[in-house]
Structure 1
Amino acid sequence: MAATHPPHVVALLYEAYLRLQNVVQAAGNAYDANVRPAHSAVFFHMEHEGIRLSRLAEKAQMTPQAMGALVDDLERLGYLRRVPDPADRRAKLILFTERGDEALKIGYAAIDEVERRLAGLLGEDGLAELNTTLSRLIQEF
């Protein structure tokens, strides 16, 4: 009989991420059922003062073509707009619209709720320790 091993930490982190993302996605879907999980790559990596598509794709580790399709979706849904970049009129900046700002507020409220639930599960000290540990992982890798 083969020995069973506990799940790898990477698998656990990924599964935890998926479960927590589902909570945030449910809040987004309650606001607008057209917002898909893939759109989170845009919302997460946007810069409020505006960002070029190439930079947004780079931050999300996606091709510009794939990111462009997501931006097109969100522009069509009224969350984003493209404007000429003042630093280079040939380039475009992607900005949030008022609807995009409202969606961000809903997302942040959902994230705050996730953190409240985590604090209830882990305790305030446990949540602080988790935050510290995850921050160390991010810096190391």
Structure 2
Amino acid sequence: MTEDDVIKLKEFKASKNRLMGRLLNRSYRYMSTLAVKFLTDKGYTNFRVGQIVALVNIDVEGTSVNKIAQKAGMTKQGMSKLVKELADEGFVYTEKDPSDARALIVKLTDLGVRCILDWKACTEYIDQNFEEVIGAEQLNILKDILRNLVDKYEEMIETGEVPCEPIPLAFMKK
């Protein structure tokens, strides 16, 4: 290791608290911690925050697993697993699709509907907590910035500029 490498490494380590990935990851953990507390207090002891991605993408009249996966930006296999977990816990049930015998329609149970409404209240709780830290104006700016980034990423996926699934980086050279 050269002296220049040591200097660059020290500079990098000193700035790690400003790295985008770290900031987004830690912010997500903070949000998840608040959500788990809120949902646990509401009595959802077996519910994982990651399962909400399936629930919120189910239409009132029901939705196919493929469509839920597409809306959530997940694989059909991953969504099928989430739907099975949610069905086992009583949040959803499935029926055969009358227009395609191979497909299933996922529908919300009363518990699933209550969970989504509680999730709405949970997001308001999270916003209140974030607002206490950064203020309402900064929170709105943060949401606008993140929305712009998400819109750009989704546009890139639709146009084929990036794959739908993240690709592991092979950046290590010998």
Q: Does 1:63 align with 2:75?
A: yes
Mapping 1:44-83, distance limit 5 Å: 44-83=56-95
- Offset of 1:22 from its aligned partner? 2.2
Q: Distance in 2 between matches of 1:63 and 1:138?
A: 18
Amino acid of the residue matched to residue 5 of structure 1? S
SS at match of 2:135: helix
Mapping 1:1-141, distance limit 5 Å: 2-3=10-11, 4-6=14-16, 7-30=18-41, 31-86=43-98, 88-90=99-101, 91-141=103-153
Q: Are the equivalent residues in 1 in contact too, given 2:92–2:107 (CA < 8 A)?
A: yes
Q: Distance in 2 between matches of 1:38 and 1:130?
A: 22
Q: Distance in 1 between matches of 2:135 and 2:76?
A: 41
Question: How high is the TM-score relative to the length of structure 2?
Answer: 0.70
Q: Are the equivalent residues in 1 in contact too, given 2:56–2:116 (CA < 8 A)?
A: no
The answer to which of 42-51 and 97-106 deviates more is 42-51
**Over alpha carbons, which structure has the higher Rg?**
2
SS at match of 1:112: helix
Q: Distance in 2 between matches of 1:139 and 1:65?
A: 25
- Offset of 1:89 from its aligned partner? 4.9
Q: Distance in 1 between matches of 2:136 and 2:75?
A: 39
SS at match of 1:65: helix
Q: Distance in 2 between matches of 1:108 and 1:99?
A: 14
Q: Distance in 2 between matches of 1:41 and 1:61?
A: 9
Q: Are the equivalent residues in 1 in contact too, given 2:35–2:49 (CA < 8 A)?
A: no
The answer to which of 49-58 and 70-79 deviates more is 49-58
Amino acid of the residue matched to residue 13 of structure 1? L
- Offset of 1:12 from its aligned partner? 0.5
What's the RMSD between the two structures over aligned residues? 2.1
Q: Distance in 2 between matches of 1:15 and 1:45?
A: 25
- Give the number of aligned pairs: 140
- Offset of 1:104 from its aligned partner? 1.1
Q: Distance in 1 between matches of 2:15 and 2:114?
A: 45
Q: Distance in 2 between matches of 1:23 and 1:95?
A: 28
